[in-house]
Chains A and B, each alone.
Chain A
Amino acid sequence: MFQRIEIQKLRDGDNLILGFSIGGGIDQDPGQNPFSEDKTDKGIYVTRVSKGGPADVAGLMTGDKIMQVNGWDMTMVTHDQARKRLTKKNEDVVRLLVTRKSLEDVVRQSMMPH
């Protein structure tokens, strides 16, 4: 049900970019999240992945819900805390634990007795 994705940050001058955008957080309005199944889910979701970026290369897809970043829990954080955890300057690699709706369907299907 979960997928582990390892993204290598790309150095662009002084910045380290990951190549995707996040949305959500406990201080945000969960009803406007287009990717979540449950509209009260205040987790962090990937809203956009830029083509050819590090996240795309690593296999991250839009609509993924990020559960952990480098071991830190992301299900109950504010938007700003999530951003900070992802963009730490002294880390070159972030290891994400994501879940995806299509993944769940696949798992459920394979678990169903034929």
Chain B
Amino acid sequence: MWKSMKEILQGKIVIRSLSQTYDYEVREYNHDFNRVGSEPSARGETVDAVYNTVIAEHRTRYRITLAGMFLRRQECSVALVNRAGLPNRRRQSNICQRACFNSFTEISATEQTLFHLKGTCERSRDRHKPRSRDGSNRSDRNVTTGTPSAGTGALDQTPAGTDPQDDNWAETTTAVTGTSDHSLSQEDLAGFAKVIEGPGPLRRGRLARLLPLGLTLLLGLLVLLTPLAFLALPQLLWADRLQACGTACEGLFLSLAFKLLVLLLAGWALFVRRPRAALPRLAVFRALLALLTLLLLLSYWLFFGVRILDSQDVNYQGIVQFAVSLVDTLLFTHYLAVVLLEVRQLQSCFSLCVIRSTDGETRHYNLGQLSIQRAALVVLERYYSDFSVHNSALLTAAKSRTAKYLADLKVYSVDGPSSDGAASQSRAKMAAAARHRDTSHNELYYEEADHERRVRKRRARLVVAVEEAFTHVRRLQEEEKKKPPGDVLDPREAAQAVFPSMARALQKYLRTTRQQHCHSMESIQQHLAFCITHSMTPKAFLESYLNPGPTLQYGCGGPQALQWTLVCEASVTSPLRDGTEFQLRNADFSLVVSTKALPSLKLTEEYVHPKSHKFVLLLQSETSI
């Protein structure tokens, strides 16, 4: 901490010395300036040339000073952020912070004056050398701030226009970008917000998932125990009076055992296994089947209680047959469950049209009779493997076109100050916007043609670079294994060795097609190692970057990507019908699904006798006689 204090103090000293140099420079410049103004044609040169030389030599010196100040200021900002990060030593950190702020204001003051002076230079040059200049891009891209909370707000912000035609000034200006090292980008902030919201619905979901599972397990236990109870209770209660039953009973015992085993396995497979997704509402068929089973068991218990327990029936074989019949009925109920839950939806009778709302990508799927929530599940599964990945960067490009045009419009009143200033300005803007609408198709065409050409050029460079990179790697031959010609590398190392030669071309291509956020350098190297291992060609390696693949290929994108909301006007447990529409909403986009019934086809038959195919030749023959 003291070290950073020292740095800051050192910075102040340097700044002071720099600003002293700067003051000296300013004085010199003014002196030269006035001198030139008083004796313009002493050496026969034009006034312009003299001005230019004076400005040029001063500018070089200014650049050095400004660069120095810039560096120093960056270090101060680093120190400030580090300060802000550490938790304790509040008072000392406050002193530190104040010191930093002061140095900042000093820097900013000198920078402001520097800009002022530069502006004066330019303006005076303009006065003597009139030159038409189209409006400088005076957007807020050149405002100087190091951290968001720096003391520049306290200063009088009157920046003279920085000349965009002078490159080096732009390089030495600090600018606020979206992704500098010490600031958070918008995406990160949004991600934090979503993560905070996460655990809430999850807790409720877990309870909702466990309750049906518990009930199902209870029912399963009941199903298992009931026939065994039917068999065991007579033995326990009135064993002495029971008739012994011979081989028929043993056969029945065996069949009972095996049927129970099959029933338990099948029941586990159908009901107890973890479902792939959580449905928003009750699964109607499962509930109905559970009710049916419960009803069945109750009626069997009723009969058992009345006919056998009360009357204490002695015919044991009859009791065993009673138990076996229960198990048979349960098996048939399970068969009904299989048909309702699995088989019914296999025969397709609806065609679903799924459209993504942001870029209109469409797919059609055939489904059977399902409830809306289960149909939504099927659609989502197919979405992850069929639809290409959603690229939000491609959409914002289209929107910004008109906004950019309108933002750049400036209204000047040529006839002097008019009475209704703001209204006339807005009218002028609307007229310009109307004119722009008439010609915006032209702009769109040329912009798209230009973009297409750029993409093709970059792609050509990329293909050549990758092909060349792949020629450097070769699989080690069998006979070379004893005496390898050079270093022997495993696929990962080979990929890392070969990667830098194509990295630049690939990065540029991804930036042009706005895909750079989908592929990290790690994933590219991994893919390269994969391709090298399986001896793939460069074209196979490039395929995943030239064409956007399905969403599953890029990983799941965090927990918020798996959260979907089903939006529907009808109840979600109602079955699909012709004309049903519903929407599956995600955080970034939504899928709109509409249903259409498949037509019922009529197929007729026509019999063709195999010998009925006869043909005639049409010739033009010539006979000489």
Contact = CB atoms under 8 A, between A and B. Distances in A.
Nearest to A24: B620
B622 A23 contact: yes
Interface string B606-625: 00000000000011111111
Contact of A83 (B618, B619, B620, B625): B625
A7 to B, nearest CB: 10
A20 B625 contact: yes
Contacts of B622: 21-23, 47-48
Question: B620, B622, B624, B625: which has the most chain A beta carbons within 10 Å?
Answer: B625
Contacts of A29: 618-620
B625 A17 contact: yes
A28 B622 CA distance: 10
A3 B621 CA distance: 25
Contacts of B623: 21-23, 79, 83
Contacts of B625: 17-18, 20-22, 83, 86-87
A23 B622 CA distance: 5
B615 to A, nearest CB: 13
Contacts, number: 34
A33 B619 CA distance: 10
Instruction: Assign chain B's interface to a size class.
Output: under 10
A68 B528 CA distance: 87
A109 interface: no
A113 to B, nearest CB: 40
Contacts of B621: 23, 28, 79
A33 B620 contact: yes
A90 interface: no
Interface string B282-305: 000000000000000000000000
Nearest to B622: A23
Contacts of B620: 23, 28-29, 32-33
A21 B625 CA distance: 6
Contacts of A87: 625
A23 to B, nearest CB: 5
B618 A21 contact: no
Interface string B225-261: 0000000000000000000000000000000000000
A23 B623 CA distance: 7
Interface in B516-571: none
Interface in B586-623: 618-623
B619 A48 contact: no
Nearest to A94: B625
Nearest to B620: A32
A37 B620 CA distance: 16
A86 B624 CA distance: 11
Interface string B115-159: 000000000000000000000000000000000000000000000
Contacts of A18: 625
A27 to B, nearest CB: 8
A28 B618 contact: yes
Interface string A22-66: 110000110011000000000000011010000000000000000
B569 to A, nearest CB: 66
A60 to B, nearest CB: 12
A87 B623 CA distance: 11
Nearest to A21: B624
Nearest to B618: A29
B622 to A, nearest CB: 5
Contacts of B619: 28-29
A52 to B, nearest CB: 15
A20 B620 CA distance: 16
A20 B624 contact: yes
B568 to A, nearest CB: 66
A48 B624 CA distance: 8
B181 to A, nearest CB: 84
Nearest to B621: A79
A40 to B, nearest CB: 13
Interface string A6-23: 000000000001101111
Nearest to A86: B625
Nearest to B616: A27
A34 to B, nearest CB: 9
Interface in A64-79: 79
Contacts of B618: 28-29
Interface string B158-187: 000000000000000000000000000000
A51 B541 CA distance: 74
A28 B618 CA distance: 5
B623 to A, nearest CB: 5
Nearest to A50: B624
Contacts of A83: 623, 625
A32 B302 CA distance: 94
A70 B347 CA distance: 77
Contacts of A23: 620-623
B110 to A, nearest CB: 99
Nearest to A9: B625
Contacts of A20: 624-625
A47 B623 CA distance: 9
A10 to B, nearest CB: 11
B210 to A, nearest CB: 84
A32 to B, nearest CB: 4
Interface string A79-91: 1000100110000
A9 to B, nearest CB: 10
A32 B617 CA distance: 13
29 contacts: A17-B625, A20-B624, A20-B625, A21-B622, A21-B623, A21-B624, A21-B625, A22-B622, A22-B623, A22-B625, A23-B621, A23-B622, A23-B623, A28-B618, A28-B619, A28-B620, A29-B618, A29-B619, A29-B620, A32-B620, A33-B620, A47-B622, A48-B622, A48-B624, A50-B624, A79-B621, A83-B623, A83-B625, A86-B625
In the complex, the 4 A-B pairs of residues with the closest C-beta atoms, listed nearest first: A29-B618, A21-B624, A32-B620, A23-B622
Given A48-B624, A87-B625, 19 more contacts: A18-B625, A20-B624, A20-B625, A21-B622, A21-B625, A22-B622, A22-B625, A23-B620, A23-B621, A23-B622, A28-B619, A29-B618, A33-B620, A48-B622, A50-B624, A79-B623, A83-B623, A83-B625, A86-B625
Interface of B: 618-625
